[in-house]
Structures are given as C-alpha cells and as structure tokens.
Amino acid sequence: MTRSRVLVTGGAGYIGSETVRLLLEEGHEVVVFDDLSTGHRKAVPEAASFIRGRISDTPLMIEALAGVDAVFHFAANIEVAESVTDPKPFWWNNFVGTLTLLDAMVKAEVFQLVFSSTAAVYGNPPSDLVTEKMPLQPVNPYGESKLSAETLIADYCTAYGLCATSLRYFNAAGAAVGGKHGADHAHKTHLVTLCLEAAARRLPCLTIFGTDYPTPDGTCVRDYIHVADLARAHLAALSAFERGVQGSFNLGNGKGHSVREVVECVQKVTGVDFPVKEVARRPGDPAYLVASSGKALDLLGWKPCFPSLEQIVHDAWEWVRTHPKGYGSDI
C-alpha cells in the first residue's frame, strides 16, 4: 500500500486510537484531531501528531489538513439511549460536524474519507443476516444522524469528487490484542464492558434486559466484532481506494451470540461467577442483529482475524484487569 498521511478525527477514542496504532505500524503518518471530550491523550501514541480541537473549527481543521491524503472520521456521539433523550449533540456533532469536515476537506483538496458508521442505520432489519441492500430505517436519533451523514457524504462524492467509504460497525468489543489499550468510557453501557465490570467486582451484578425475545434463549443476539478487526478494515478501505473501490460495508463476524452466551463466556474467561439479574426489555433493542460481511470480504479483501468471542473477551479482560482506572491507571 502507498504510504499516506492520514488525519484521524476521534483518534484518541476507543476504535480511533486502535486504528492510529495500526496506521503507524504499517508505516503511515498520522495526525490525530480530537477535542478530548471522551477520548484520552494517553491513548494517542507519541509517533502521531496531535491537535486538540473540534471538527467544527474550520480554520483549525483546514490547517490540520495541509499535506493530508485521507481522513478517517471517528469523532461522534455514540450512545443510543442518550440520543433519544438528548438528540441535539448527536445532530450537531454527527451530522453538522461531518458537514463542516467535508467542507474543510474540499477546501483543503483532501478527497479520501473513511467514515465510521453503524448497524444502527438498519433499525429493525427484516432478516436475521443483514446485508447492505436492506432498508435503511433507523429507530433512534443516533442511527438517523449517522445515516444522514452517509447521505451527505454520498452527495459530496457525486458533486465534488470525493472518494468515500462508510464502515457500518456491528457490536465493537475487545481491546488491543494483549490488553495494553482498550475502551475507557466515563459512562459504560455496552454488554461486554459491563460484564467485565461485574467480573472485576466493580458492579454488584450484570442486568439482563429482556428474556422474552423470539431468540433461542430469549435474550437478544448480537454480532460482536474485535476492535483490532475494525481497525484493519479502515486500512483495507484506504488501500481499496487505489482500486477505485468505495461504498458502504457491514463489519461483523457473521455469527450471533445471545446476552446469556456473552455472560457465560465472560464468566468462563475471567473465572468469576458474578451474579446476574433479569429485568424487562430495554426500549429500542432489536432481537437479532448479525452482519453479512460478504461485501467487505469481496471488495475490500477484509476478513476478521479474531472472530472468537473468547478472544474478544480475553483481550478486553486483560485491559480491564491491568487498568482498573482505564487511562487514569499507570501505563
């Protein structure tokens, strides 16, 4: 692959920083652009340049884009439930923020973009295995804001010569292989993270939201994908631009795990039999969401290297076990 200079928005965050490390390993130059509202300066390797700023700060962004070949755009608000109660920052950051970034890119003549999208653009898909051809019907403002950003990007591709790929992540999980880096969110909502908190005895129990879904064991099924595999997909998307490949791609393992299976897996990997409480459904959860990633395989040449849930949980546990205070711990 050609050596590129890549600007990474949200490069101090969970998936962004994992991608920054991989870009550097592969010999690319990296500029991280992050306002540190949720990211961590310590997650950014020394070898990357770092600019603290908001993506809506157009003069700063245009300056940062000097000499840049491609942008990886991770910076976003991501919590589904919060998007329902307080949609404003989701529209400002995920939609307007993307618009201002695109304008800055066009002004700075940077024409390659890899965008972090989400399975939430599908809402409640009509089939178990989700392909990119399925209807795009988000059921929450988070998914709406990401889908609107995808539409905006497609229009900029048609009109202004941008090349762009949107990567629709299913359930991102795990940590850097070996556990040196990982997720450090002030507000923890994701299943694997909360199971590990329970295993570390920092939560009294894990709460299962709903046991009456039309799934084999009554709990929701999701496709958990290793953060290192998500990072690799971004580099695959970048090199695919050289072959004229762009578009929207699902990223998952194509294998579903129920909430109960995740709980059992975390208990097995950690050796901690933490207590579990069953409560009513959480509003807005689809019963079954599993990716067909055939398009990414065919066109990007991307295939997950760490598809096993055990490996995903193992790496996340290494991070949680050795960094009880996240990036606030000594690393």
Residues annotated as catalytic are 142
How many residues line the site for ligand UFG (CB under 6 A)?
20
Rule CB under 6 A: say whether 170 interacts with ligand UFG. yes
Residue closer to ligand UFG, measured from CB, 112 or 165: 165
Under the criterion CB under 6 A, does residue 76 sit at the interface with ligand UFG?
Answer: no
Of the two residues 207 and 239, which places its CB atom closer to ligand UFG in the complex? 207
From residue 113 to residue 132, the character string flagging contacts with ligand UFG as x (rule: CB under 6 A) and all else as - is -----xxx------------
Side-chain half-sphere exposure of 125, counting CA atoms within 13 A:
21
Query: 207-241 burial, b for 16+ CB within 10 Å, e for fewer?
Result: ebbbbebebeebbbbbbbbbbbbbbbbbbbbbebb
**Scanning residues 269 to 288, which ones bind ligand UFG (CB under 6 A)?**
282, 285
Q: Which residues of 274-290 are buried (b: 16+ CB within 10 A; e: fewer)?
A: bebeeeeeeebbbbbbb
Q: Is 232 in the site for ligand UFG (CB under 6 A)?
A: no
Site stretch for ligand UFG (CB under 6 A), options 41-49, 175-183, 204-212, 267-275: 204-212
21 binds ligand UFG (CB under 6 A): no
Instruction: Say how many residues make up the chain.
Output: 331
* Strand intervals (E) in 74-209: 112-118, 129-130, 163-169, 171-173, 206-209
Q: Which two tokens stand for residue 111?
A: 């024409």
Q: How far is CA 148 from CA 82, 115, 118, 143, 249, in A?
A: 18, 12, 12, 9, 16
Q: Does 68 bind ligand UFG (CB under 6 A)?
A: no
Q: Is 194 in the site for ligand UFG (CB under 6 A)?
A: yes
| Interaction site with ligand UFG (CB under 6 A) | 78, 80, 118-120, 170-171, 189-191, 194, 207-209, 220, 222, 259, 282, 285, 289
